Amino acid sequence: MTLLDSEVWAKKFFSDGWRDCDSEQPVVEPATGDRLGAVGLASAGDVARAAARAAEAQRAWAATAPQERAAVLRRAGELFSAHAGEIEDWLVREAGSVRAKASFEVRLAVGECFECAGLPTHPQGEVLTSEEARWSLSRRRPAGVVSVIAPFNFPLLLGLRSVAPALALGNAVLLKPDPRTAVSGGVVIARIFEEAGLPAGVLHMLPGDGSVGQAVVEAPEVRVISFTGSTPVGRAIGERAGRLLKRAHLELGGNNALVVLPGADVAKAASAGAFGSYLHQGQICMTTGRHLVHESLLARYTEALAAKAAALPVGDPAREDVALGPIIDRRQLERVHGIVTRSVAAGATVAAGGEIVGAGYRATVLSGVSTDMPAWREEIFGPVAPVIGFSTLEEAARIVNDCEYGLSVGILGDVGTAMKLADRIDSGKIHINEQTVGDEPNAPFGGVKASGTGSRFGGAAANVEAFTETQWVTVRPDIADYPF
C-alpha cells in the first residue's frame, strides 16, 4: 500500500483515525476537470468533537519527553523524503503545480520538519532578576489546541509550517485545508504524521466549508488560530478571534514590488522578474505583482521581460513539459483576465500574453501602466507583470509604499543604492538582488499592513512566540512572611 492509497482516506476525514462521514467532495484536477477521487467533509459537529478530543490528547502529548516529540518530527521529515515522488504527483495534479514547483515544495516540507525537530529542546524561558529573595523565571508553555487554516496555492507547505512547529512545541492541532487541495494540503500531512507515530487525537484533519472554518476558530478549546489566505477572510477571522480573546496569526495577501535600479543587468533582471511573476502561475502571496524600472532601462527591460513571457509554455503539467500550469479554478481564471482587460481599457498595453489558454493563462506583461490601474492596485494572483518607470529613489520608495500590502520587495542592482532604498520601504521582507519569492524554514516570514498582523512563521524565536504562552514562575526557599 502506498502512503496515499485512496482506500485509506477516500470519503473520510482524519480525527482519531480515518472516519466515515455523511458528505463528500470530489477531488478535481484543475488542468482537465477530471475527478481524482473524493474526500470526506467534516461538519461543525465533527469539529466540536475533534476539539474536545484534541484538548484531552494535548495534555499527554505536552508531557511527552522532548526527545520523543523531536523524534516524531524527524521521522515525518524522513517520510516526506521517502514519499516525495508520490506527494509531488498529487501537487501536480490536484494543485496544478509544475513538477519543479512541486519538488521544491516537498523539499521545503522536509526542511520544515527537520528544523522543527529542534524546537522541543530549544531554550524556552529565561531567568529574571527579582527584588525579592527568590528565584524568578519566565517559561514558555504550549498554547493548547491550535487551529490551522491553509490555502490552495502551496497547500502542503503553508499548512505544515504551522502544523509542524505547533506539534513540536506540545500542542494539538485542528487542520482545515482548502477543499480544492484537501489531499495535498490535508491528507498528506495526516498520513505522514500517522506513519511517523504521532499519538492518536493530537492531529485532526477536517476539510469543509465556511461553517467548518468558523467552527475551528470558535471552538472553546482552541487558543491560537494560524491562518494563511486572503486579506478579506483574514480580517473576518481576526474579528472573530478578537471577540473571543484568542490569538490569531494572519499571513495574508501581497502586491509585491520588484525595483530595477539604474545600471542593473537587464537580462538578469528580466529573468528574476519572470521567475517572481510567473512561478506557479503567479498564485503565490509573494508573487512579483509590480515591476518598477528606472526610466533609463524601462524600454529594454519591458522588451526582455516580454520575450521571457512569450517563451513560457502553458498547459497540463501532468502530461506536458510546461512552465505554467492551470489557474486553480475557472472563477479565478476569469478574475485574472478581467483585471487585464480592465487595465487595457484604462490605457495599458499588452506586451505579451493576455490570453486564456484552456485552464491556464499566458504569462503576461503590461506596459503603459499607471498606478491607478487595476493591474497595479490589486493583488492579481495570476501570471501578470505590470511595468512602470521611475526616475529617483524618492519616487521609487513612494510608489512601493503606496500600497495596502507590505509583504515582500525585491531590489535589483547596486547594493549600496539598494540598501538606501530598503531603509525607506515598509515591508516584512526585503531581498536585494533577488526577486520577491523566497522562504526558508529557519527564517521569519510575514508581512505588515494588509499583509498580516505582523506575526511571523519560521525560525525558533518566531515559532516559540507563535505557539506557546508565557508563564511567570517564582520559587522561595521558605514560605514568605506576610503582614496579615
Which residues, in sequence order, are bridge partners of residue 26? 38
Residue 151: is its pLDDT beyond 80? Answer: yes
The reply to whether 479 falls in a domain is no
Confidence of residue 162 (pLDDT cuts 50, 70, 90): very high
Confidence of residue 46 (pLDDT cuts 50, 70, 90): very high
The reply to whether 142 falls in a domain is yes
Q: Give me the number of domains the chain comprises.
A: 2
The reply to whether 477 falls in a domain is no
Instruction: Supply the pLDDT for residue 329.
Output: 96
| 247 and 262 both lie in a single domain | no
| Residue environment code for 32-46, b if the CB has 16+ CB neighbours within 10 A, otherwise e | eeeeebbbbbbbbeb
Q: What is the 3-state secondary structure (H, E, C) of 230-299?
A: CHHHHHHHHHHHHHCCCEEEEECCCCEEEEECCCCCHHHHHHHHHHHHHHHHHCCCCCEEEEEEECCCHH
| 233 and 291 both lie in a single domain | no
| 346 and 415 both lie in a single domain | yes
CA–CA dist 80, 246 (Å, integer): 32
Query: Taking residues 126-130, what's their average pLDDT?
Result: 97
**Is 320 one of the catalytic residues?**
no
Query: Taking residues 86-112, what's their average pLDDT?
Result: 98
The reply to whether 290 falls in a domain is yes
Higher-confidence residue of 169 and 457: namely 169
The reply to whether 442 falls in a domain is no
Cell of 188: 498528506
| 275 and 141 both lie in a single domain | no
393: burial class by Cβ within 10 Å (0-12, 13-18, 19+)?
A: middle
**Is 285 one of the catalytic residues?**
yes
Q: For residue 302, give the CATH number of its domain.
A: 3.40.309.10
* pLDDT over 70, % of the chain: 100
Residue 105: is its pLDDT beyond 70? Answer: yes
Cell of 351: 506586451
Q: Of 88, 251, 379, 403, which is the active-site residue?
A: 251
Provide the domain limits for residue 57: 6-252+452-472
Instruction: Supply the pLDDT for residue 475.
Output: 97
| 154 and 194 both lie in a single domain | yes
CA–CA dist 425, 3 (Å, integer): 45
Residue 455: is its pLDDT beyond 80? Answer: no
| 261 and 234 both lie in a single domain | no
The reply to whether 70 falls in a domain is yes
Instruction: Supply the pLDDT for residue 456.
Output: 76
| 202 and 275 both lie in a single domain | no
| 193 and 266 both lie in a single domain | no
3-state secondary structure of 30: coil
Query: Taking residues 223-237, what's their average pLDDT?
Result: 96
**Average pLDDT, rounded, for the chain:** 97
pLDDT tens by residue, 361-419 = 999 999 999 999 999 999 999 999 999 999 999 999 999 999 999 999 999 999 999 99
Contacts of 1 (CB under 8 A, 6+ apart): 7, 8
Query: Taking residues 272-287, what's their average pLDDT?
Result: 98
Query: Taking residues 118-123, what's their average pLDDT?
Result: 96
CA–CA dist 117, 121 (Å, integer): 8
Query: Taking residues 274-298, what's their average pLDDT?
Result: 98
| 415 and 466 both lie in a single domain | no
Which residues, in sequence order, are bridge partners of residue 172? 145
| 191 and 311 both lie in a single domain | no
| 396 and 365 both lie in a single domain | yes
First to last CA, the chain: 70
pTM here is 0.96
Confidence of residue 1 (pLDDT cuts 50, 70, 90): low
* pLDDT over 90, % of the chain: 97
Residue 459: is its pLDDT beyond 90? Answer: no
Confidence of residue 458 (pLDDT cuts 50, 70, 90): confident
The reply to whether 443 falls in a domain is no
CA–CA dist 110, 216 (Å, integer): 27
| 386 and 462 both lie in a single domain | no
The reply to whether 205 falls in a domain is yes
Confidence of residue 94 (pLDDT cuts 50, 70, 90): very high
Q: For residue 211, give the CATH number of its domain.
A: 3.40.605.10
Instruction: Supply the pLDDT for residue 454.
Output: 75
Q: Of 21, 113, 116, 285, which is the active-site residue?
A: 285
